[in-house]
Structure 1
Amino acid sequence: MNGRNGVDMERVKTLKAVMQENPAAGRRTLSGITSWNGGAHSTTIVRNFAVPADEPAVLGGTGRGASPTELMLTALSACITIGIAYSAAEDGIEVDSIEIDVAGDLDLRGFLNIGDLRPGLAEIRLAVRVDADAPQELIEELVDRGYRRSPVAASLEGRVPVRVCIGREEATLSEPRSGA
């Protein structure tokens, strides 16, 4: 692939120009389909990718995939990594490596309906390391921009409405259900 940091900036610039002229060109509906495989194991097909999910044995699963919460943490850190790489490419900065340690605190009592705890993470922590030929201040700016341009981070922070339908009806409920 041509471009700095493996990012085809010509394609990105072309798409950006098209979207500036026609904002509707930037709107996408992302989708997948998840099938239950028994127990806690499922497989989601997204584009041409099969993504397994399962719970560890301690939670009654078989460990045949990362847990859904681990996949969410993975999505967050991957999205921020991409944002950093793109930001660096836009600025003409060559990056040698980007690594993110991601961790989240989960109290399983919420999932298991013990007490009235909310299921979900209490906090997510990211430790970002960027090796690039740039001063520390610029690396900090790249990390900040990578975070700010992350759709996953924005979705987690903004509590995106989740619409749930039963059966084969389209997800067109007028009011989102809370708790997601």
Structure 2
Amino acid sequence: MQPATASEIQPAISLLGKTPQLLETLLGDLPDDLLRWKPKPDRWSISEVLAHLAALEQVYTERVRRMVAEDSPALAKYDLDGAKAREDYSHGSGTENLANFIQTRRSTLAMLAGLPASAGTRVGVHSELGTITLAHVLHEWANHDLGHLRQIEELYRAHAFHPNSGPFMKYSNPQP
């Protein structure tokens, strides 16, 4: 495995910094009924995605902190199914969940801004993936943000615009 350099972490940190702004711009003035709309009972609403993003901040920040502070810490695989069973993301309004995510991410960004230049090469041992670098974690975190930004966009599109586009509906197929 090729070790990451410190410069390789900046694109990921930059994207992590843009996510709150993108979400605030897209969702900041939407009514709560739109933020809580679900395409199917077993799918998340925008509000639930925001609650999930806030909850995952703790997972990612803990990994980063441990990888900076410890030598090759053991990192458990994130248990999404267990988290879904433990976490009820349906509580709180969409507006509250957006504000909570933005506040949590701001704290995260302050922590990331203080990373030493060599942080990207720090390693941990993931229970499933083996040796990973802090740069890998940051890039996965940015990838996770982008995946959920797309999910949020598709939910918004499917509920607010696609049904009202009349005959143009045949040209698009939102996948919320």
TM-score by length of 1: 0.30
Structure (1 or 2) with the greater strand fraction: 1
Answer with 1 or 2: which has the greater Rg.
1
Structure (1 or 2) with the greater helix fraction: 2
